[in-house]
A and B are shown apart, each in its own frame.
Chain A
């Protein structure tokens, strides 16, 4: 059970970091003035939001081992291949959702704020860091909290490719001891606890970033 919790948290932590990175990059692409970058960002979000996570897990799980065989690229298979694929797929999906949250946040900041920043002589970069980003956080925070919780929930899907996370362990316990009821109760409680903790963190951050 503790192993399951560790696997779940590994996937969640890994995916959170990568998904945030992907989300930020794609959101920046989407609001870019270069048309092809905006289109590429839009394309990424549309594709990854509209294909089920389960299919993406299978696609990468079987696809990577078919394209990059173990014999030629052994370094991919060092450690747990399943967990790497799990982190990859969950991050790709959640990255698309985070990008949407950030993009709508950026678009919710009034355009004249940035114009005013440029007019007072700040460079585009300064305007972005000092004017746009501080106003973006309060708007985007609730959406980001949602996405963080979704990452936890999505990590449960990774049992299909053999990541030994919480629900996988519960199923093993059910199969070995027929005490599925106890196992599932604890697993569900752990998920609620993890989500509760995330929610609490975001609540604190939100209070911290809210303009006085």
Chain B
């Protein structure tokens, strides 16, 4: 236990007052940031698939399945090593990791939200159009609120995944919770079970918390349209 209590400040916030934010605090910050970004990207992608031009729809579908078909690690290395070289910009590991994760999870969320949009009864669209709303207003006020509530279980799964898989940024040397644990383990060398057991336990608490929250929202929004026969992918 000493190895945990001794390194607890480092595990929780990295070198924060003296250096950049790290540890569990960075993992939480990154999850929230990526969560918002990918939700935005997902909604945009789902809306783009309603576009009247088949070329747009086709391009969005192709890009989204390309992103979803590759492992997130491959995607991470693409944005880290190759995006800066292509665009001639300087990205810190944290920045490129956020971009990669946001795009990756955004593609999945787009797929989930699209399922939700399909579940909204056609009458809702017609009613919205009849009451004089234009397309963005129909999406914003009528369709999306119902669509998103309909896919809460899938979205919650996605958020849990997003939280857990922020740990891939440790592969780029970002000092998140996982990387801090790796460093502590490298320094200590004799208590791997305690260290990784503790870290796993903390991750577990958080993701379990998120899924309980999701279950609560699901009950609260019981009136939303139901998605039938949809696979809730990992």
CA of A65 to CA of B192 in the docked complex: distance in angstroms? 9
Given contacts A50-B203, A146-B234, A156-B74, contact A58 B192 (CB under 8 A): yes
The answer to whether A52 touches B203, judged by C-beta atoms less than 8 angstroms apart, is: yes
Chain B residues contacting A133 (CB-CB under 8 Å) are: none
Using C-beta atoms within 8 Å of the partner chain, give the interface range for chain A: 35 or more
Interface centre among A51, A65, A180 (most CB of B within 10 A): A51
The answer to whether B77 touches A191, judged by C-beta atoms less than 8 angstroms apart, is: no
Chain A residues contacting B191 (CB-CB under 8 Å) are: 66
Which residues of B in the span 83-131 have a Cβ within 8 Å of any Cβ on A?
Answer: 85
Q: How far is the CB of B160 from chain A (nearest CB, A)?
A: 7
**A-B CB pair tally, cutoff 8 Å:** 116
B168 interface residue per 8 A CB criterion = yes
The answer to whether B200 touches A51, judged by C-beta atoms less than 8 angstroms apart, is: yes
B69 interface residue per 8 A CB criterion = yes
Which residues of B in the span 115-173 have a Cβ within 8 Å of any Cβ on A?
Answer: 160, 164-165, 167-168, 170-171
Query: A17-25, A110-118, A119-127, A147-155: which lies at the B interface?
Result: A147-155
B182 interface residue per 8 A CB criterion = yes
Which residues of A in the span 154-212 have a Cβ within 8 Å of any Cβ on B?
Answer: 154-157, 159-160, 167, 170-171, 174, 180-181, 184, 187-188, 191-192, 195-196
B58 interface residue per 8 A CB criterion = no
Partner of B70, one of A65, A67, A159, A192: A192
A46 interface residue per 8 A CB criterion = yes
Partner of B192, one of A49, A54, A66: A66
The answer to whether B167 touches A54, judged by C-beta atoms less than 8 angstroms apart, is: yes
A78 interface residue per 8 A CB criterion = no
Chain B residues contacting A170 (CB-CB under 8 Å) are: 77
Given contacts A54-B178, A188-B70, contact A63 B231 (CB under 8 A): no
The answer to whether B168 touches A54, judged by C-beta atoms less than 8 angstroms apart, is: yes
Among residues of B, the one whose C-beta sits closest to the C-beta of A193 is B69
Among residues of A, the one whose C-beta sits closest to the C-beta of B171 is A160
Partner of A50, one of B170, B181, B185, B208: B208
The answer to whether B167 touches A188, judged by C-beta atoms less than 8 angstroms apart, is: no
Chain A residues contacting B182 (CB-CB under 8 Å) are: 58
A59 interface residue per 8 A CB criterion = yes
The answer to whether A184 touches B208, judged by C-beta atoms less than 8 angstroms apart, is: no
Chain A residues contacting B234 (CB-CB under 8 Å) are: 97, 146-147, 150
Interface centre among B71, B167, B170 (most CB of A within 10 A): B71
CA of A192 to CA of B81 in the docked complex: distance in angstroms? 20
The answer to whether A184 touches B196, judged by C-beta atoms less than 8 angstroms apart, is: no
Chain A residues contacting B8 (CB-CB under 8 Å) are: none
- For the complex with contacts A58-B182, A59-B196, 12 further pairs of A-B residues with Cβ separation under 8 Å are A49-B207, A50-B160, A50-B164, A50-B207, A55-B178, A58-B196, A66-B190, A146-B234, A167-B73, A170-B77, A184-B77, A192-B69
A-B contacts, 15 listed (Cβ < 8 Å): A51-B207, A52-B200, A55-B178, A58-B192, A59-B196, A59-B197, A63-B196, A146-B233, A153-B70, A153-B73, A167-B74, A167-B77, A184-B74, A192-B70, A195-B69
